[in-house]
Amino acid sequence: MKVGIIGCGLIGSEIASFLDNNKNFELIGLTDIDKNKSFELIKNLKNSKPKLMGINEIIKKSDLIVESAAKNAVRGILSNENLDKKNKKLLIMSTSGIISSLRLLKEIKNCEILLPSGAIVGLDGIKSVSEKIESLTLTTTKPVQGLEDAPYIIKNKINIKNIKNKKVIFEGTLIDAINEFPQNINVAATLFLASKSNNLRLKIIADPKTRFNTHEIQAEGDFGVIKTTAINFPSKNPKTSYLAVLSAIQTIRNIESNIKIGN
């Protein structure tokens, strides 16, 4: 299977490293808005010889396209004329970019869209009860450095380095949060897509005393109550949980497996 990666940051690099050691996949192309990242990644690969390509060429030539760039890249990928072909697959990491492109997503009939569970757990259960959810909350707690430079922090002039104890810095809806925390909101977007719930409420907490990213989900309805908690080590990028990296790699592993676990 020929693979192209759009976005050569931490997640794209980890996926490339996995593919580099897997004979069932051929990494043929890479692209990033920062060409130096692409060149550095190519140099570090041992077995693969991917070429530096444009997005259009990657989509055209790849059987599996991996998006690990940013939410702003998703619309262009979904609307690309070469995407909606039989036997193509698109793995999207920046699920927050889908929310403003749901119409484009629904128009895709042939390309298989893969959305890893990312930094949360329990999505199988959430999907199972998606039509019966009456209330749904996601509480995300992060180290303060994982929230630095978020538009919400800058706009409201929050001196996040001065926070001494755990503090709620945001409460609201998914739509409210997408533009305010663009690098922290993929978890919420994935939860929304799995639950199909317009009742999703978000809470973001800054905690200067933790080094973990914690995501707590609570769903209620006539099925009962589902509660999940994922306490994740940050990756080398404090805005990204290591579990999100592992989730992406497992989603790719599932492609080559004839045994599917979960719904």
The separation between CA 11 and the C-alpha centre of its own chain, rounded to angstroms, equals: 9
Residue 49, judged by CB atoms within 10 A of its CB (0-12, 13-18, 19+), counts as exposed
Structure tokens belonging to residue 60: 């055209």
Structure tokens belonging to residue 176: 């409210």
Per the annotation, the verdict on 215 as an active-site residue is: yes
Given the residues 60, 71, 88, 215, the one annotated as active site: 215
DSSP sequence for 6-71: E--SHHHHHHHHHHHT-TT-EEEEEE-SSHHHHHHHHHH-SS--PEE--HHHHHHH-SEEEE-S-H
Instruction: Return the HEC string of 81-117.
Output: CCCCCCCCEEEECCCHHHHCCHHHHHHCCCCEEECCC
Q: Which residues are catalytic?
A: 215
